């Protein structure tokens, strides 16, 4: 098949068996790949608890991986999150997706639990499980270095080995499927790492059409200020959001009790450039090159890491923030959840986190020792255990990222409708409300946000299934990527067809969550956002959210999805993935 190999490698760690299996053509064309394929492959086991060895951990590439389409070499990691209990996917860039495809498979399906630590080696047509006793207990850089001769590597650190509920899966060059605790799933299976390499090329149905589609995508990229502008991602990486969020008065500060941090300029994009003179890099073949590295080649922190270890915890010491980011990468911790959990603990205990506290506390979390054992459970469980559940700034137990929802009402709604928990990446309202692309909207109004969110969620789900970077939509659209997909696969796709696939993915994920006990009560922000205002100033008022208006727009969203007033499916359920 053009674009797809039509094969998955199924690994049973309990039995120690590895078997290549055919994937039906209609499954591939209907789910595309990446997130969609992973969600579909998870369907029959979604009721399994996260400590059940039979719960699969799925790595899925997209049909564009290895094709040369800009920003298309990403891998989706899909399972059920031990932190949230929801169906969960993470997206990671780098070279792993390309090398997975070059080994002749579209997906890895990993089940069972090995009786001893192992790592999976996939090299072309050969696959094997190797003993990992010497790797177990090692940090991320050490493991990546040890397996550097085996192609692209995905691995966990000590946090994943010890079952930290927000442990991530890390790849080379600072790439990660970082959120939701998928590293704990991998660690629970006693799987330390996966290496992939091969020599099979992604076949292209229509190379001439693909060349044109690629030119169109690149032209739109270069014309996009958020991507290639003076203050865009290419120039500063995601640290460019530090100043933008400060100007919008949307910087979560003091555990979301304020929305402005006066000293955020100490770790902004320009501050990083002045202090470190970083070099640029990116995922395989991506022209945006949004990742920044110091002179030693160590990846610099992304916006959410800087802001949450900074403003959220009251720290403006750039070296300390850089060290915290490096610690999270080394240990295999999600920096967003780690920082929010630390801020939650500080508010409950009335203490102040210092720069000197960061490394010891992150080490304790990764080892689940002493206080770290409770911090390793995440902000919600920590707050419940300490008798202050209202202090946890989470939705569906997922710690909120570094965009305050009081400053953008579509974002507030997106945090709640997201199938994986409080996450801005599911609907990308930041593009509409903050970057004001493709259509500017009033960020302090709920009017029309349900419809905007439904469209954005569908587009993002389709993009994740193509395994394309979400930042690509700051320039190009589904129309250009549909043309590229048609050129690669020889299957005729339109932007509307991709959006339909995206809608089916969103509904499938919602169905999974409903079947596992989630209700409309879980589609709600913490009380703080409805009762406390943000930080007013500079002619901008940041009021508390209007609960009644929020609930009305949430109901509108449910109706646009074909759901009932309570967010459930009617007797004749909506469309799901085939």
User: What pLDDT was estimated at residue 282?
Assistant: 78
User: What pLDDT was estimated at residue 426?
Assistant: 85
Q: How far apart are CA 250 and CA 412, in angstroms?
A: 12
Strands 17-22 and 394-395: unpaired
User: Got the DSSP string for 129-154?
Assistant: EEE-TTTTT--HHHHHHHTGGGSEEE
Q: How far apart are CA 565 and CA 43, in angstroms?
A: 25
User: What pLDDT was estimated at residue 572?
Assistant: 60
* E strand or H helix at 61: none
DSSP 457: H
Contact 177, 92 (CB under 8 A): yes
Which residue segments constitute the domains of the chain, with CATH numbers given?
7-197 (3.60.9.10)
Q: How far apart are CA 271 and CA 578, in angstroms?
A: 49
User: What pLDDT was estimated at residue 28?
Assistant: 96
Contact 83, 180 (CB under 8 A): yes
Q: How far apart are CA 162 and CA 485, in angstroms?
A: 41
User: What pLDDT was estimated at residue 479?
Assistant: 97
User: What pLDDT was estimated at residue 284?
Assistant: 80
Q: How far apart are CA 23 and CA 7, in angstroms?
A: 5
User: What pLDDT was estimated at residue 538?
Assistant: 82
Contact 286, 71 (CB under 8 A): yes
Cis amide bond preceding 226, omega within 30: no
Integer angstrom CA distances of residue 497 from 206, 438, 468? 20, 20, 16
Among 144, 108, 145, 148, residue whose Cα is nearest residue 129: 108
Among 502, 568, 505, residue whose Cα is nearest residue 78: 505
Bridge partners (DSSP) listed for residue 155: 170, 193
Q: How far apart are CA 227 and CA 474, in angstroms?
A: 7
Count of residues in the chain: 578
Q: How far apart are CA 16 and CA 309, in angstroms?
A: 41
- The helix/strand/coil state of 159 is helix
Say what angle helices 449-466 and 409-417 make with each other, to 10 degrees. 60
User: What pLDDT was estimated at residue 428?
Assistant: 67
Bridge partners (DSSP) listed for residue 195: 121, 153
User: What pLDDT was estimated at residue 433?
Assistant: 87
Integer angstrom CA distances of residue 423 from 23, 185, 457? 31, 20, 12
Q: How far apart are CA 453 and CA 412, in angstroms?
A: 11
Q: b/e string for 366-404 if b means 16 or more Cβ within 10 A?
A: bbbeeebebbbbbbbbbbeeeeeeebbbbbbbbbbbbbb
Q: How far apart are CA 321 and CA 358, in angstroms?
A: 9
Contact 82, 165 (CB under 8 A): yes
Torsion of CA 258, 178, 364, 391, to 10 degrees: 30
Bridge partners (DSSP) listed for residue 18: 11
Tokens of 554: 């949430």
For tokens 């689940």, name the residue.
368
For tokens 């032209």, name the residue.
219
Integer angstrom CA distances of residue 137 from 74, 119, 121, 191, 313? 27, 13, 19, 12, 29
Integer angstrom CA distances of residue 67 from 99, 172, 175, 205? 12, 21, 20, 11
User: Got the DSSP string for 476-508?
Assistant: --HHHHHHHHHHHHSS---HHHHHHHHHHHHHH
Tokens of 339: 């920082």
User: What pLDDT was estimated at residue 295?
Assistant: 87
Among 183, 152, 175, residue whose Cα is nearest residue 333: 183
Block means of pLDDT (10 residues each) for the chain, length 578 residues?
Answer: 95 97 96 97 90 96 96 96 97 95 97 98 96 97 95 97 98 91 98 97 96 97 94 94 95 98 96 93 85 88 97 97 96 98 97 95 97 98 98 98 96 96 83 77 94 95 96 94 98 97 96 95 98 93 97 98 95 62
Among 272, 18, 257, 46, residue whose Cα is nearest residue 128: 18
């Amino acid at each position: 098949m053009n674009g797809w190999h039509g094969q998955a490698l199924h690994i049973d760690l309990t039995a120690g068996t590895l078997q290549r299996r055919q994937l039906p053509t209609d499954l591939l064309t209907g789910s595309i790949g990446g997130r969609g394929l992973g969600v579909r492959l998870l369907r029959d086991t979604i009721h399994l608890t996260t400590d059940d060895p039979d719960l699969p951990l799925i790595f899925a590439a997209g049909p564009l991986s290895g094709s040369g389409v800009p920003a298309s070499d990403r891998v989706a990691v899909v399972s059920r999150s031990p932190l949230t209990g929801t169906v969960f996917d993470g997206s990671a860039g780098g070279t792993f997706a390309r090398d997975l495809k070059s080994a002749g498979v579209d997906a890895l399906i990993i089940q069972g639990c090995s009786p001893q630590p192992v790592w999976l080696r996939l090299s072309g047509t050969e696959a094997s499980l190797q003993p990992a006793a010497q790797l177990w207990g090692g940090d991320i850089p050490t493991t990546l270095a040890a397996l550097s001769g085996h192609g692209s590597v995905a691995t966990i650190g000590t946090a994943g080995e010890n079952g930290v509920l927000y442990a991530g899966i890390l790849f080379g060059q600072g790439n990660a499927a970082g959120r939701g605790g998928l590293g704990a799933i991998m660690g629970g299976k006693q799987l330390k790492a996966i290496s992939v390499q091969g020599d099979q090329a992604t076949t292209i149905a229509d190379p001439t059409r693909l060349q044109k589609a690629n030119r169109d995508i690149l032209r739109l990229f270069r014309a996009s200020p958020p991507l290639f502008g003076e203050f865009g991602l290419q120039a500063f990486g995601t640290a460019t959001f530090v100043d933008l969020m400060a100007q919008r008065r949307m910087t979560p500060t003091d555990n979301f009790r304020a929305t402005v941090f006066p000293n955020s300029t100490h770790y902004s994009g320009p501050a990083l450039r002045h202090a470190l003179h970083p070099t640029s890099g990116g995922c395989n073949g991506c022209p945006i090159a949004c990742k920044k590295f110091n002179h030693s080649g160590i990846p610099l922190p992304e916006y959410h890491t800087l802001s949450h270890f900074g403003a959220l915890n009251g720290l403006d010491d750039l070296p300390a923030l850089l060290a915290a980011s490096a610690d999270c990468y080394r240990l295999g911790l999600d920096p967003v959840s780690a920082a929010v959990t630390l801020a939650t603990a500080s508010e409950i205990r009335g203490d102040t986190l210092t720069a000197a506290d960061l490394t010891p506390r992150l080490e304790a979390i990764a080892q689940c020792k002493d206080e770290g054992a409770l911090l390793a459970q995440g902000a919600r469980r920590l707050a419940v255990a300490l008798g202050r559940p209202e202090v946890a700034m989470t939705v569906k137990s997922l710690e909120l990222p570094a965009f305050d929802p009081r400053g953008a009402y579509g974002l507030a709604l997106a945090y709640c409708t997201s199938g994986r928990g409080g996450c801005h990446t599911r609907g990308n309202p930041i593009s509409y409300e903050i970057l004001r692309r493709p259509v500017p909207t009033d960020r302090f109004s709920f009017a029309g946000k349900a419809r905007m969110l439904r469209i954005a969620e569908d587009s993002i789900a389709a993009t994740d299934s193509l395994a394309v970077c979400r930042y690509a939509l700051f320039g190009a659209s589904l129309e250009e990527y549909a043309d590229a997909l048609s050129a690669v696969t020889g299957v005729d796709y339109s932007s509307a067809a991709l959006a339909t696939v995206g809608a089916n993915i969103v509904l499938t994920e919602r169905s999974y969550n409903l079947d596992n006990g989630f209700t409309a009560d879980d589609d709600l922000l913490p009380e703080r956002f409805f009762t406390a205002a943000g930080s007013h100033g500079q002619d901008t008022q940041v009021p508390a959210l209007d609960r009644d208006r929020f609930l009305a727009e949430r109901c509108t969203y449910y109706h646009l999805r074909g759901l009932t007033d309570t967010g459930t499916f009617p007797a004749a359920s909506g469309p799901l993935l085939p």
